[in-house]
Amino acid sequence: MRYIFNFPDIGEGLEEGTILEWYVKKGQQVKTGDNLVQMETDKVVADIPSPRDGTIVALFGEVGEIAIVGEPLVEIEIEGVHGEEAQEEAKKEFAPQPDESEDLDDEEAAGVVGTMETAGKSAVLAASDEGSDKEDVKEDKPMRKALATPVARAMAKDMDIDINEVKGTGPSGRVTKADVENFKPAKKGTSKKQDIVKGDDVTYEPLTQIRKAISKNMINSKHSAAHMTVFEEVEISELINVRARYKDAFSKKDAKLTYLPFIVKAAVHALKHYRQVNSQMDLENDRMIFNNRYNIGIAVDTAEGLVVPVIKDADQLSIMEIAKQISELADKANARKLSMDDMKGGTFTITNYGSIGGLFATPVINYPQAGILGVGRIIKKPVVKNDEVVPGSVLSLSLSVDHRIVDGGEASRFINKVMEYLADPIALLME
């Protein structure tokens, strides 16, 4: 029996992915769970496992090409299922939908009898179909759902036209004789795979899935939320001393102690005081959603673009545990090994642009969250303590909130509470 495994939706709202690496080749035997291909989606790089035992018959798509969710990824020959048994299994999985039982003219009616093209789910084809017109689909090219009449199919074959590229105008999208006659093939060289093209003045490079996702999410955030940003500075000499005191002890336990774990902890405690900042608006149901968990997204700068893995239940973690999770997530992000679970469930986000450079910014909210805290660079500057001007270490902060949810006063009180904890880390640890 032939089994066509379609690219599954491995994320929320996933529509497509880029093929990064094939782990299998034609003729190779695979077991259920063996990795078939590495795909880059708009959220993560993920390995797609085989759903069945069998032998690889065909791969649909080359490295660098775009795979569409619901379209064929691989075709597998499954042993032990033959003839009528295979046909019956195929019929059960791909019984026609009610809207496909329309009245057809003679040409179209003939085309439906005994014909089953690729379906919306993972398709099953009987081994007895080998050598039929279904084999005409090119192995290295993604297939699309296509129905065609015998006349149109024969004409397409004579004209060396891939029937799957022809847009059908017949009932249920079936390809007719007229469709084949009017078909104009795409210019040679066009493909879903885009190469780097260098000109005299510019260089063209295809958008990565991550860059597409960043673009879409930023625009969605700006269009969906009313952004407001509050800027502040906090003197953190005490925090610097605490970090210096415990940095070596943390290092011996394989934990890198930076300032970020303290900032995460300060944000969590402040969120407990000001729950509006840890909420989101549900306009469809005319209600607010207040999060009872404190899942903090940490923006990580990678060579491929910005990703935001999530530290789950940060309120229940120690500074050391947070430090370890930050390091682990950053390593996974740079190695492109983040899972979907690593990226889900964030309720508030922190972006530490100061580790690279910059004092203040206007961070874009990770919609539908209500706020994001931007952390700037620490600089030495004069500060006033006990009515005296003394040297100080000042950390700049930027808090962007959705002004529909968080009022200006609430935003100011929240960032003041964060500053309070950072200025007095003992209070942070004693909370």
Q: Annotated active-site positions, please?
A: 403
By the 8 A CB rule, do 393 and 243 touch? no
Task: State the Cα–Cα distance between residues 111 and 114, nearest whole angstrom.
Answer: 8
What the block records as the tokens of 82 is 């033959």
210-233 b/e (C-beta count within 10 Å ≥ 16 → b): bebbbeebeeebeeebebbbbeeb
Task: State the Cα–Cα distance between residues 291 and 270, nearest whole angstrom.
Answer: 14
> Which residues are CB-contacts of 331 (< 8 A; sequence separation ≥ 6)?
none
CA angle 258, 263, 269 (to 5 degrees): 145
Q: At what angle do helices 408-423 and 237-252 cross, to 10 degrees?
A: 60
H-helix or E-strand containing 371?
Answer: strand 371-385
What the block records as the tokens of 24 is 């299998």
By the 8 A CB rule, do 380 and 393 touch? yes
Helices (H), 113-208: 150-158, 177-182
Within 10 A of 2 (CB to CB), how many other CB atoms are there? Answer: 23
